[in-house]
């Protein structure tokens, strides 16, 4: 490893978030290009850098910096160069020269110890003297804090976040209670804080550690869909995480309850423990639903007359339950309509929309995802938006969703209709209801037999199970739908009935294969050769859905193989390796977490922006259009032409999407789906999962694999228990 010393003449590029910098360093009158991560750096600074020379294929000889330390300017020329570089606001070249002429080599001591003396220099007031000193000291404090934090293994971008949050308090917090980081700073979880605490020497049974571990366990449970955990289950999980005795954990539960960080609630013969935020979300959601649930007096005769007029105009004819749904919508401020595929939900929604139009009411339509909203627009002929867009997402703070539409600025409409309600989690439902003013009608539409939302809660199921809201269940399969084996077999699966696998169908096929690699070969043939012509779609539009992430037929292995055959390497096609994934221009990718602060743009072919907004969400899929190593960005095009420039540090949020889990396919619809089935855990391979997968296809379902596994899934009604309390909160409102 070599060492070089010099002054920073010019910063070519700097990523402020992770500290990655390209700069020109003047060393012994020679200019050297240096690349590396710097905590804070300014032009004019003197540094000593350790590292090695490398040869970049495009930019030539560079010095790759692995360690750097600031060197105090030793002579007048170096001091003057630093002060006049622009690093200190308010000091230009001329003023820097006057300061150094007055104080010579003693300049930095004067700034730090006697800053008021700077006012002896012409052009510097006492106020300006103190501002200059504050800037110099702040830069010094930042560097010292970076050095302090990095000795505990904290990386540069996180260290900057920590310092920006705590300032000079950082030393006491790290040494006394680093678990505060998990509460206060986005991106720091319990495990990170625990590692730091271990390095600092904090005891494994400290109160700070125990309470932080309990809260972390509840956060992890939310990731599995739970809004609370039973007390004994929480004890068990937290004990495994903390590797400690759970005998004294009740004391920590009480402490956290007193601090109002958790809520303890008796329900169903057990004590449920909530992270406070989720308890209040459920309680507020229940109260707001109750507020909207008001009755209106409208006679059968008036409703039926309007519906008959609509039927004549549209050629639609409603059956008994559909007519009931229209009547309930007319008479109630809150209504749930549920039913499986082919049961006439779309016809019912269309009739309700036209009924309210005839009453001169304003109507908003929305769905949880872009794909679902687009499909809603196509089937109704009315504009539908994502719920996030309807609520005017503004990016929020620290990565949390913030909406312009809320209780202070509600939606200005008479009716709100939400489709694909099975996908809506408690957080989004809470935000939606805040934006709906009293007197606005709310109609929730969804298939309760679909998988529950990816996020925490069982909103649609809990509302229906509570028995306190008006619910209409559509059960009749219409003649046109009954001609589709996709729909017929989906209902058979849902009822636990045997499905005929003779491949005489026109849209539902089962290809029996019993080895993983043979199954994958068949899947490739289907996607590349057979299905595109059959369903008149591109290979990219055909979606592989698999029950699991790991294993021979899991998402991770399938994506690697499918990428190799569907988007192989080519000359001129740029790539970016990130962890175990190679991203390539042309790849199909998926966003894996909600990011409310990602900006998107819709651009014309000439590059002009015609629309823009915030937020890309868990499950959104797109195509990589460009990889730019110089700018360190990857451009992805999502539905509706929304272009997003991902910085390389955000690539953790993307994964290949040639194959996705069935859970991630919720709310989406594809021309054709291919479902490989072999084996897996019984808890995962259940009826609910199979039903969801089959109902994702518009024109063709092809299952490839073991028919016995298929039959067992239909019989298996066990689902992973999801702990949610909205049903209880709604019953409390009665």
Query: What would the pLDDT profile of 640-673 be if each residue is shown by its tens digit?
Result: 789 999 999 899 999 999 999 998 888 788 999 9
- Whether the pLDDT of residue 472 is over 90: the answer is yes
- Whether the pLDDT of residue 631 is over 80: the answer is yes
- Whether the pLDDT of residue 349 is over 80: the answer is yes
- Whether the pLDDT of residue 327 is over 60: the answer is yes
697-705: average pLDDT:
95
Per residue, the 3-state secondary structure of 435-478, as one string, reads CCCCCCEEEEEECCCCCCCCCCCCHHHHHHHHCCCCEEEECCCC
pLDDT, position 297:
92
- pLDDT higher at 142 or 487: 487
108-127: average pLDDT:
87
User: pTM of the full predicted structure?
Assistant: 0.77
pLDDT, position 481:
67
Query: What would the pLDDT profile of 82-112 be if each residue is shown by its tens digit?
Result: 787 776 788 888 898 999 899 988 888 888 8
Query: What would the pLDDT profile of 148-194 be if each residue is shown by its tens digit?
Result: 777 777 776 677 778 788 888 888 888 888 888 877 787 777 888 88
pLDDT, position 507:
93
Neighbours of 721 (CB within 10 A): 11
Per-residue pLDDT band for 18 (boundaries 50, 70, 90) equals low
Per-residue pLDDT band for 690 (boundaries 50, 70, 90) equals very high
- Whether the pLDDT of residue 399 is over 70: the answer is no
CB under 8 A, 24+ apart: contacts of 559-567: 559/655, 559/656, 559/657, 559/658, 559/659, 560/656, 561/520, 561/524, 562/523, 562/524, 562/527, 562/656, 562/658, 562/659, 563/587, 563/656, 563/658, 565/524, 565/528, 566/527, 566/528, 566/539, 566/540, 566/658
**If residue 234 lies in a helix (H) or strand (E), which one and from where to where?**
helix 231-242
Give the C-alpha separation, 512 to 262, whole Å: 51
Per-residue pLDDT band for 141 (boundaries 50, 70, 90) equals confident
- Whether the pLDDT of residue 389 is over 70: the answer is yes
622-636: average pLDDT:
93
Query: What would the pLDDT profile of 201-250 be if each residue is shown by its tens digit?
Result: 888 888 888 888 899 899 889 988 999 999 999 999 999 888 887 778 89
Give the C-alpha separation, 568 to 555, whole Å: 18
- Closest by CA to 132, choosing from 115, 117, 144, is 115
Lowest mean pLDDT among 14-28, 432-446, 522-536: 14-28
- pLDDT higher at 599 or 720: 599
- Whether the pLDDT of residue 455 is over 60: the answer is yes
- pLDDT higher at 416 or 137: 416
Per-residue pLDDT band for 398 (boundaries 50, 70, 90) equals very low
pLDDT, position 157:
67
Give the C-alpha separation, 291 to 468, whole Å: 12
- Whether the pLDDT of residue 397 is over 60: the answer is no
Query: What would the pLDDT profile of 265-309 be if each residue is shown by its tens digit?
Result: 987 788 999 999 999 999 999 999 999 999 999 899 999 999 999
**If residue 318 lies in a helix (H) or strand (E), which one and from where to where?**
none
Do the beta carbons of residue 307 and residue 318 sit within 8 Å?
yes
Cα atoms in the 13 Å half-sphere on the side-chain side of 344: 24
Mean pLDDT computed over every residue of the chain: 89
- Whether the pLDDT of residue 326 is over 80: the answer is yes
Percent pLDDT > 70 in the chain is 97
707-724: average pLDDT:
89
Per-residue pLDDT band for 733 (boundaries 50, 70, 90) equals confident
Query: What would the pLDDT profile of 540-577 be if each residue is shown by its tens digit?
Result: 899 999 999 999 999 999 999 999 999 999 998 999 99
């Amino acid at each position: 490893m070599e060492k070089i010393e010099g002054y920073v003449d010019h910063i070519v590029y700097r990523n402020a978030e992770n500290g990655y910098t390209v700069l020109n360093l003047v060393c012994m009158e020679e200019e050297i290009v240096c690349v590396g991560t710097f905590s804070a750096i300014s032009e004019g600074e003197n540094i000593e850098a350790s590292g090695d020379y490398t040869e970049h294929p495009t930019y030539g000889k560079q010095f790759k910096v692995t360690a750097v330390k600031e060197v105090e300017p030793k002579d007048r020329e170096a001091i003057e160069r630093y002060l006049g570089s622009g690093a200190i606001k308010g000091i230009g070249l001329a003023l820097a020269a006057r300061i150094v002429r007055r104080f010579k080599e003693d300049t930095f001591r004067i700034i730090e110890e006697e800053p008021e003396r700077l006012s002896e220099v012409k052009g510097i007031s006492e106020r300006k003297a103190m501002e200059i000193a504050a800037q110099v000291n702040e830069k010094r404090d930042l560097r010292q804090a970076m050095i302090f934090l990095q000795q505990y293994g904290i990386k540069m971008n996180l260290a900057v976040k920590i310092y920006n949050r705590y300032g000079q308090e950082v030393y006491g917090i790290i040494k006394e209670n680093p678990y505060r980081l998990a509460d206060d700073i986005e991106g720091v979880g319990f495990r990170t804080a625990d590692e730091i605490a271990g390095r600092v020497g904090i005891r494994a049974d400290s109160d700070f550690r125990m309470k932080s571990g309990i809260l972390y366990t509840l956060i992890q449970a939310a990731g599995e869909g739970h809004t609370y955990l039973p007390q004994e289950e929480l004890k068990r999980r937290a004990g495994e995480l903390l590797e400690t005795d759970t005998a004294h954990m009740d004391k920590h539960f009480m402490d956290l309850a007193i601090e109002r960080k958790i809520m303890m609630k008796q329900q169903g013969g057990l004590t449920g423990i909530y992270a406070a935020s989720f308890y209040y979300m459920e309680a507020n959601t229940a109260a707001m639903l109750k507020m909207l649930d008001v009755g209106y007096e409208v006679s059968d005769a008036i409703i039926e007359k309007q519906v008959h007029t609509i039927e004549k105009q549209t050629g639609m004819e409603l059956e008994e339950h559909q007519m009931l749904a229209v009547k309930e919508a007319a008479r109630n401020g809150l209504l749930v309509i549920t039913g499986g595929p082919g049961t006439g939900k779309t016809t019912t929604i269309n009739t309700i929309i036209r009924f309210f139009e005839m009453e001169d009411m304003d109507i908003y339509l929305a769905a949880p995802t872009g794909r679902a909203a687009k499909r809603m627009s196509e089937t109704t002929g009315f504009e539908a938006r994502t719920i996030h867009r309807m609520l005017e997402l503004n990016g929020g703070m620290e990565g949390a969703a913030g909406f312009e539409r809320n209780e202070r600025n509600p939606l200005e409409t008479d009716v709100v209709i939400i489709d694909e309600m099975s996908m809506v989690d408690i957080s989004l439902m809470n935000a939606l209801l805040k934006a709906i003013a009293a007197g606005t009608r709310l109609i929730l539409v969804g298939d309760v037999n679909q998988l529950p939302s990816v996020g925490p809660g069982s909103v649609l199921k809990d509302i229906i199970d509570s028995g306190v809201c008006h619910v209409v269940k559509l059960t009749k399969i219409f003649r046109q739908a009954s001609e589709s084996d996709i729909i017929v077999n989906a209902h058979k699966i849902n009822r636990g009935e045997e499905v005929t696998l003779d491949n005489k169908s026109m849209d539902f096929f089962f290809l029996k294969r019993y080895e993983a690699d043979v199954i994958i070969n068949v899947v490739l043939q289907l996607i590349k050769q057979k299905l595109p012509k059959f369903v008149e779609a591109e290979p990219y539009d055909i979606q592989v859905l698999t029950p699991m992430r790991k294993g021979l037929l899991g998402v991770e292995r399938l994506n690697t193989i499918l990428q190799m055959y569907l988007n192989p390497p080519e000359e001129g096609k740029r790539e970016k390796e990130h962890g175990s994934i190679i991203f390539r221009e042309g790849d199909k990718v998926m966003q894996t977490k909600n990011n409310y602060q990602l900006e998107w743009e819709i651009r014309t072919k000439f590059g002009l922006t015609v629309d823009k907004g915030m937020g890309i969400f868990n499950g959104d899929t797109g195509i990589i259009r460009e990889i730019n190593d110089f700018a360190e960005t990857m451009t992805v095009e999502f539905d509706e032409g929304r272009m997003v420039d991902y910085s390389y540090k955000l690539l953790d949020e993307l994964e290949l999407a040639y194959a996705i889990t069935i859970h991630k396919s919720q709310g989406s619809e594809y021309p054709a789906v291919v479902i490989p089935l072999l084996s897996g855990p019984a808890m995962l391979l259940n009826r609910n999962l199979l039903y969801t997968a089959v109902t994702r296809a518009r024109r063709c379902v092809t299952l490839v694999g073991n028919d016995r596994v298929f039959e067992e899934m239909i019989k298996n009604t066990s689902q992973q228990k999801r702990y949610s309390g909205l049903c209880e909160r709604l019953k409390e409102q009665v």
